[in-house]
Amino acid sequence: MSFSCDINVLLYASDSTSPVHHKAQAFLKQASAGGDLFCLGWPTVMSYLCIATHPGIFRAPLTPAEALANVEGLAGQPRVRLLAEETGFLEVYRAVTGSFPVRGNLVPDAHLAALLRQHGIGRIYTRDADFRKFSFLDVRDPFAE
């Protein structure tokens, strides 16, 4: 079964000050080497590049080269796939967001949820409880004991 993760997992893996830094690194290592496909949405990747390099947001910002090297290293693993929107994406987005209002910070989550649905991916690893609003997703905290 294919799965994905949200940006927070990528950021924790890059933030050495995070209490779950080592767990996030171990999760990404296992996820990219496991038997199932680890699928990352381009919106997640671009958000990672934005936040991980932003000195006003990220505690110890990476250089653009460091952040891009992290993405390339992950994307270069044989079991990792990058997902992009395909024809009909707007209809999928409309279906995913049709039962409740989506605005503000929920828009990027809905974007990722719709992208996962379009590609038939039903599991996401994240600490963001907003993903539980999308009933088709099996939302799991990768750091839960």
> What's the pLDDT tens digit per position in 41-78?
999 999 999 999 999 988 789 999 999 999 999 999 99
Q: State the pLDDT at residue 110.
A: 97
Instruction: Tell whether pTM > 0.85.
Output: yes
Domain ranges for the chain, please list them. Answer: 4-83+121-140
CA distance 99 to 81: 29
Q: Counting beta carbons within 10 angstroms of the beta carbon of residue 68, is it exposed (0 to 12), middle (13 to 18) or buried (19 or more)?
A: middle
Q: What's the whole-number average pLDDT of the chain?
A: 95
> What's the pLDDT tens digit per position in 71-103?
999 999 999 999 999 999 999 999 999 999 999
Residues 34, 82 contacting (CB under 8 angstroms)? no
Q: Which whole-number Å values give the CA distances from 31 to 12, 41, 46, 143, in the listed order?
A: 15, 15, 20, 13
**Stronger pLDDT, 145 or 82, i.e. the higher one:** 82
Q: State the pLDDT at residue 68.
A: 97
Residues 36, 79 contacting (CB under 8 angstroms)? yes
